[in-house]
Amino acid sequence: MAKRANGEGSITKRKDGTYHGRVYVTTTSGIRKRVSVYGKTRDDVREKITNLQAQENQGIPVPDTNMKLEDYLTYWLATVVRVNRRPKTYQGYESVARVHLVPGLGRKKIRTLRASEVRTWLAQVALECQCCKHGWDKERREPECCAARPKACCRSLLSRRMVQSIHAVLRNALQNAVREELIVRNVAQLVQVPTPAYDTGKGLSVAEARLLLRESAGDRLHALYLLALVMGMRRGELLGIRWDAVNLDRETLTVERALQRVGGELRLVQPKTLASVRTVPLPPIVVKALTEHRERQAQERAAAGIEWKENGLVFTSRIGTPLEPDNLRRSWYPLRKRLGLEIRFHDLRHSAVSLLLDLGVPPHIVRQIVGHSDIGVTMKVYAHASLDEQRKALRKLGDTLS
């Protein structure tokens, strides 16, 4: 047998029948170190060695138990989050790590990081902006003064939900370090953060919903508004619908993709959660709207001629290109202004859930229609009984007791 090259790795069989592999890799501390891997079969160990060598070739260091949090976050994002999570999730985690965690705790060693340090730092980032007392710009999601004078104002005003997101990213990263036996316990789990008050927006009443559909009847995106209001679909899900997922004969729609801007380009990705992948029946009002929309799209395709960019999407621009998610507001804002409504586009989804629950549809059915990951989300975040419904329920109880 030819002699193995330096750093190629070796595999030996142990007395208990398992296999032990050794290979030289570069750790996050910059030291080239011989690490061990174990497996039930020689092939298992060989695969682990190959993976380590592939990471070495890509310049991805292996974690060192004495590494700083900044180095570990770089490793975790590259080898765990990017590989196993959706692109948009990776983008969000990377942003939180770069903007908040690395500047605040990046120099701390993960092995000696204490819960009190995490708790103190989170309390600091949650403080309101001290240099001014301006209000909060909901559209820009920052203090109003920052929008007017971005260089002259502190941007430390964070919502409870943002603080919770920062804590969640740190907790997930350290939990992975526990699984890889780099640290003994996850100190972030010992720290509690304020539970955010979920803002579900304003739901439409039945009269307002009818007015919206009547006002948008001549709009080229009427079918999109109808799907949002009746089916409770998310913006990305709506813009990611392909015609091959729509069966107008069987009156069904399969939600299996979402359109998102990731890394500067539009991509069709998996929906938000596993429960978001679903096949739902289409009521006649939606079937009619989609049929008319398909005919309108055929006319636009003919008018565009060679400029048409076919991609199979249901909702496109006038030349067939995907609709930019953020640009949907260009058609939505004028429509809501004509109606005199101050609601976000996402509030149409909230309206669908509320209207279905008000009609007495069981929560587990509503959950399946809109693709909530858990029925608790359906009830806790969206289900708000109207004053009339509360009055009716209490009257029924009073009549029973009288």
**What pLDDT band is residue 103 in, cutting at 50, 70 and 90?**
very high
- Look at residue 327 and tell me if it is in a domain: yes
**What pLDDT band is residue 93 in, cutting at 50, 70 and 90?**
very high
**Residues 327 and 244 both lie in one domain:** yes
**What pLDDT band is residue 390 in, cutting at 50, 70 and 90?**
low
How far apart (Å, rounded) are the C-alpha atoms in residues 205 and 272? 27
Give backbone dihedrals phi and psi of 201, rounded to 5 degrees, phi first: 80, -170
Range of the domain at 292: 206-392
Res 149 pLDDT > 60:
no
CA–CA–CA angle 296, 302, 305 (5° rounding):
140
**Residues 167 and 228 both lie in one domain:** no
Round the average pLDDT of the chain to a whole number and report it. Answer: 81
From 161-165, 210-214, 236-240, 382-386, the region with the lowest mean pLDDT: 382-386
Query: What pLDDT is recorded for position 98?
Result: 93
Query: What pLDDT is recorded for position 295?
Result: 95
CA-based max dimension of the chain: 95
**Residues 156 and 279 both lie in one domain:** no
Query: What pLDDT is recorded for position 386?
Result: 53
Query: What pLDDT is recorded for position 296?
Result: 94
Which of the 8 DSSP states describes residue 222?
H
What is the DSSP code string of 285-305?
Answer: HHHHHHHHHHHHHHHHHHHHG
Res 45 pLDDT > 80:
yes
Percent of the chain topping pLDDT 90:
30
Of 190, 216, 244, the residue at which a domain comes to its end is: 190
- Look at residue 5 and tell me if it is in a domain: no
How far apart (Å, rounded) are the C-alpha atoms in residues 225 and 214? 11
Q: Residue 367: which CATH number?
A: 1.10.443.10
**Residues 186 and 89 both lie in one domain:** yes
What value does the mean pLDDT take over residues 147-159? 46
The larger pLDDT score, comparing residue 51 to residue 6, is at 51
Q: 302: which 2 tokens?
A: 């003919």
Domain count for the chain, please give it.
3
**What pLDDT band is residue 169 in, cutting at 50, 70 and 90?**
very high
How far apart (Å, rounded) are the C-alpha atoms in residues 300 and 292? 13
**What pLDDT band is residue 158 in, cutting at 50, 70 and 90?**
low
**Residues 379 and 234 both lie in one domain:** yes
Q: Residue 146: which CATH number?
A: 1.10.150.130
Residue with tokens 């009818």: 210
- Residue 157 CA, distance from chain mean position: 22
**Residues 165 and 292 both lie in one domain:** no
**What pLDDT band is residue 378 in, cutting at 50, 70 and 90?**
low
**Residues 162 and 278 both lie in one domain:** no
How confident is the model over 300-350, as pLDDT tens digits? 999 989 999 999 999 999 999 998 887 788 888 888 888 888 888 888 888
Q: Residue 118: which region, alpha, beta or left (left: phi > 0; alpha: psi -120 to 50)?
A: alpha
**Residues 47 and 95 both lie in one domain:** no
Res 16 pLDDT > 70:
yes
**Residues 373 and 244 both lie in one domain:** yes
- Look at residue 271 and tell me if it is in a domain: yes
- Look at residue 200 and tell me if it is in a domain: no
Query: Which pTM was predicted?
Result: 0.61
- Look at residue 386 and tell me if it is in a domain: yes
- Look at residue 283 and tell me if it is in a domain: yes
Q: Do 200 and 382 form a contact (C-beta atoms < 8 A)? A: yes
Neighbours of 399 (CB within 10 A): 8
Contacts of 30 (CB under 8 A, 6+ apart): 61
**Residues 114 and 183 both lie in one domain:** yes
Query: What pLDDT is recorded for position 66?
Result: 74
Query: What pLDDT is recorded for position 262?
Result: 75
Of 42, 62, 82, the residue at which a domain comes to its end is: 62
Of 131, 161, 190, the residue at which a domain comes to its end is: 190
Q: Do 226 and 235 form a contact (C-beta atoms < 8 A)? A: no
Residue with tokens 């069989």: 13
**Residues 226 and 296 both lie in one domain:** yes
**Residues 184 and 227 both lie in one domain:** no
Contacts of 6 (CB under 8 A, 6+ apart): 24
- Look at residue 198 and tell me if it is in a domain: no
- Look at residue 19 and tell me if it is in a domain: no
How far apart (Å, rounded) are the C-alpha atoms in residues 201 and 15? 64
Which of the 8 DSSP states describes residue 189?
G
Query: What pLDDT is recorded for position 291?
Result: 94
